[in-house]
């Protein structure tokens, strides 16, 4: 089982070599038996991988940054955050990605206007209407009982076209501006509560009123790239900026105003500084993974994280550049001795997978919580390690898939297959697993750990979307369908027998058998990347993200309606057309609202036979 997690990009060509060539590496490795160390040395850091074939771009990049010249940057993940100015929290957007040489970077974007719009009625003056709105916001409360501090609210008077109806002239709107999205959401909620009790003719008409995440609104209004090449101008760099979250996992930190971050429309000038190949195949680093679990009660007892008898005994990973099925490194972590292999380096790390959101992630997160190491684990893999996170906050904000309150009984219970009408009521705490739409009547429930700078992708869900009516959804089936090499063959009874013997005592045969298990596990992980490259899945995701002004995460997890809505919203905004993003309370009745459908007259039509006569049949003959 696997899952795709993104760190960032790099150029690489497709290598259709045989299995031996696919897994070969000039780099010799070490097999390390993991015994509980807090840190394992030996694995190549991202910087070292990037430096292996950087085409001298690292040296050029250092000179460009030192002279504060424009820097090309590939974005792939986002994080909404706050920055305190004069003790007031202001909205900022952190975009994670990599630079031209493949090194990881984070760009903190400031100066983003956080607002929603209210249409001014034709029969009221702007001052009088603003007085009414101010009174509603001052006295009202949102659904959690919060009020708005009006000292933090600003308003502007603008003119724009409403999206409904025909209007020869622009209409007046009040733009309600807040320092951060929390205050904006509170104000919107107060207006919504007012409308729920007001007469229809007195209701307030809002626009630019997205109630979910705010970054999609930012992307469509400012046209910034959330997944693709952008250019950073007039920036502060690393410790010259108030943004402090710079770490060994993210060595480059930029701090820039929203007006100074834009998509690259013309690569010509950059080709005079860097090789063009570094742009055509950016250096996104993909990590695939698979785990093997065991229950000491014996075969027939399915391993579940809640049981003390269940454990993970092998974690295998492969590292790739985005467009290359050939691994840069293979990493295998085991808890018993195994035979060394120069193609493997055994060490802990994490992240592309097959059905990992259905089993691997829930098992790892629940077991880490039970063993009280979840916080430590996050500190090792997060691109923003300065966040002080405990198990409670991680399960609340970073884990998608809990049920009820974190750290309570039943939190990790889930059902992978759900009908779209079976969705449970919204929780007070924690994040629901995400239902990935496969077809109109079936969703795939995906549970995972979401960390800054990492995009988890379940390969099984991706291929179920590509083949929505397929009766089979196994890794073996999709490999055969795509004409790729199959899985390694190892029945579960044999796997458990080998591991049980190895944990009870080391012998020449047990060492050899564990080597066979690790080979089985790492090949499953490797096949995930081969599937994704063969079908160009990640590049297609990024193209959709670029067109619709959404993130790479959005393209995998959310249905077409959100993507189309954001795309249309961007085009409307460019034409000074304002619109509401709220779901209408009006429910359409009838199968085909707005059109009359004539009932068919059944039977054979023999009076006016239809025959083919080419396209000219439809001309004016």
DSSP 8-state code for residue 266: -
Close Cβ partners of 58 (under 8 Å, ≥ 6 residues apart): 50, 51, 101, 103
Predicted confidence at residue 194, as pLDDT, reads 96
Domain definitions of the chain by residue range: 5-47+283-534
Nearest to 483 by CA among 530, 520, 529, 521: 530
Close Cβ partners of 119 (under 8 Å, ≥ 6 residues apart): 162, 171, 172, 173, 205, 206, 207, 578
pLDDT at 55 over 50: yes
The token pair at 477 is 């089936």
- Integer CA distances (angstroms), 303 to 263, 349, 433, 496, in order: 48, 22, 21, 11
Nearest to 521 by CA among 543, 563, 492: 492
The token pair at 402 is 């809990």
Predicted confidence at residue 621, as pLDDT, reads 36
Predicted confidence at residue 307, as pLDDT, reads 92
Distance of CA 303 to the CA centre of its chain: 28
Average pLDDT for 99-118 = 94
What does DSSP say about strands 577-578 and 154-162: parallel, antiparallel, or unpaired? parallel
Q: Apex CA 235: angle with CA 230 and CA 238, to 5°?
A: 105
Give the SS3 label for residue 294.
strand
Mean pLDDT of the chain: 83
Point out the least confidently predicted range of 4-8, 106-110, 143-147, 201-205: 4-8
Point out the least confidently predicted range of 4-13, 90-99, 464-473: 4-13
Partner residues linked to 316 by β-bridges? 290, 332
How far is residue 540's CA from residue 563's CA, in Å, rounded to a whole number?
14
DSSP 8-state code for residue 416: S
Tens of pLDDT, residues 298-345: 888 999 999 999 999 999 999 998 999 999 888 888 876 555 555 555
Task: Tell me the pLDDT band of 22, cut-offs 50, 70 and 90.
Answer: very low
Residue 398, phi then psi, degrees to nearest 5: -110, -20
Pick the residue with more confidence: 430 or 165? Answer: 165
Tens of pLDDT, residues 523-537: 999 999 999 999 999
Strand runs labelled E in 324-483: 329-334, 399-400, 417-418, 434-439, 442-446, 448-449
Close Cβ partners of 453 (under 8 Å, ≥ 6 residues apart): 7, 77, 79, 96, 104, 106, 249, 250, 382, 383, 384
Distance of CA 176 to the CA centre of its chain: 30
Tens of pLDDT, residues 545-569: 999 999 999 999 999 999 999 999 9
- H-only helix segments in 373-486: 374-381, 391-397, 459-466, 475-481
Tens of pLDDT, residues 499-522: 998 888 767 788 888 889 999 999
pLDDT at 169 over 60: yes
Q: Which residue has the tokens 């198990």?
A: 391
Nearest to 526 by CA among 10, 9, 7, 15: 15
Average pLDDT for 289-303 = 91
Would you tell me which CATH number, out of the four given (2.60.120.260, 3.30.230.70, 3.30.420.10, 3.50.30.40), belongs to the domain 5-47+283-534?
Answer: 3.30.420.10
Question: What percentage of the chain carries pLDDT values higher than 90?
Answer: 59
Predicted confidence at residue 337, as pLDDT, reads 56
The token pair at 333 is 């972590």
Tens of pLDDT, residues 239-266: 665 555 456 667 899 999 999 999 999 9
Predicted confidence at residue 422, as pLDDT, reads 44
How far is residue 230's CA from residue 260's CA, in Å, rounded to a whole number?
10
**The sheet that has 236-237: what strands, in order across it?**
236-237, 252-257, 104-110, 88-99, 71-85, 228-232, 261-263
Pick the residue with more confidence: 22 or 145? Answer: 145
Nearest to 110 by CA among 65, 80, 145, 149: 80
pLDDT at 173 over 80: yes
The token pair at 432 is 């629901």
The predicted model scores a pTM of: 0.84
């Amino acid at each position: 089982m696997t899952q795709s997690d993104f760190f960032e990009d790099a150029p690489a060509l497709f290598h259709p070599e045989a299995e031996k060539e696919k897994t070969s590496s000039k780099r010799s490795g070490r097999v390390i038996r993991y015994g509980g160390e807090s840190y394992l040395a030996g694995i190549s850091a991202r910087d070292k991988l990037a430096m292996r074939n950087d085409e001298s771009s690292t040296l050029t990049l250092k000179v460009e940054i030192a002279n504060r010249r424009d820097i090309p940057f590939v974005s792939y993940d986002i994080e909404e955050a706050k920055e305190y100015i004069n003790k007031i929290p202001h909205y900022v957007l952190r975009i994670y990605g990599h630079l031209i040489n493949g090194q990881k970077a984070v760009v903190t974007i400031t100066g983003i206007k956080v607002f929603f719009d209210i249409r001014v009625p034709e029969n009221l003056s702007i001052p009088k209407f603003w007085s009414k709105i101010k009174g509603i916001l001052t006295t009202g409360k949102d659904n959690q009982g919060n009020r708005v501090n009006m000292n933090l609210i600003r308003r502007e008077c603008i003119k724009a076209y409403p999206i409904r109806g025909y209007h020869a002239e622009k209409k007046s709107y009040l733009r309600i501006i807040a320092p951060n999205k929390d205050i904006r959401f509170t104000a919107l909620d107060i207006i919504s509560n007012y409308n729920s009790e007001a007469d229809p003719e007195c209701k307030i008409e809002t626009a630019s009123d997205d109630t979910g995440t705010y970054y999609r609104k930012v992307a469509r209004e400012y046209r910034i790239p959330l997944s693709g090449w952008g250019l950073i101008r007039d920036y502060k760099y690393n410790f010259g900026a108030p943004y402090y979250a710079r770490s060994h996992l993210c060595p480059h930190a930029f701090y820039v105003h929203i007006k100074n971050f834009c998509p690259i429309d013309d690569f010509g000038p950059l080709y005079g500084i860097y090789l063009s190949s570094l742009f055509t195949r950016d250096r996104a680093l993909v990590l695939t993974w698979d785990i093997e679990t065991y229950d000491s009660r014996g075969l027939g007892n399915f391993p579940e994280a809640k049981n003390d008898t269940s454990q993970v005994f092998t974690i295998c990973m492969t590292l790739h550049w985005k467009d290359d099925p050939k691994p840069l490194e293979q990493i295998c972590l085991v808890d018993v001795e195994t035979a060394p292999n120069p193609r493997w380096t055994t060490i802990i790390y994490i992240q592309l997978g097959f059905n990992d959101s259905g089993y691997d992630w829930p098992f790892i997160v629940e077991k880490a919580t039970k063993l009280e190491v979840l916080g430590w684990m996050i500190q090792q893999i997060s691109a923003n390690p300065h966040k002080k996170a405990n198990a409670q906050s991680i399960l609340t904000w970073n884990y998608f898939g809990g049920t009820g309150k974190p750290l309570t009984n039943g939190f990790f219970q889930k059902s992978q297959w759900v009908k779209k009408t079976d969705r449970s009521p919204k929780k007070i705490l924690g994040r629901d697993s995400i239902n990935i739409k496969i077809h109109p009547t079936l969703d795939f429930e995906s549970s995972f750990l979401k960390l800054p700078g990492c995009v988890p992708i379940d390969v099984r869900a991706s291929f179920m979307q590509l083949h929505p009516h397929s009766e089979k959804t196994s890794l073996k089936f999709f490999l055969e369908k795509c004409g790729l090499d199959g899985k390694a063959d190892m029945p579960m009874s044999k796997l458990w027998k080998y591991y049980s013997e190895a944990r009870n005592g080391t012998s020449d045969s047990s060492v050899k058998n564990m080597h066979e298990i690790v080979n089985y596990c790492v090949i499953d992980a490797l096949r995930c990347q081969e599937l994704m490259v063969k079908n160009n899945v990640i590049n297609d995701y990024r193209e959709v993200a670029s067109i619709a002004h959404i993130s790479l995460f959005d393209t995998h997890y959310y249905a077409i309606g959100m993507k189309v809505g954001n795309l249309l919203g961007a085009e409307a905004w460019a034409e000074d057309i304002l619109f509401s993003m709220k779901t209408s309370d009006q429910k359409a009745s009838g199968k085909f609202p707005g059109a009359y459908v004539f009932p068919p007259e059944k039977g054979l039509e023999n009076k006016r036979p239809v025959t083919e006569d080419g396209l000219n049949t439809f001309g004016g003959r």
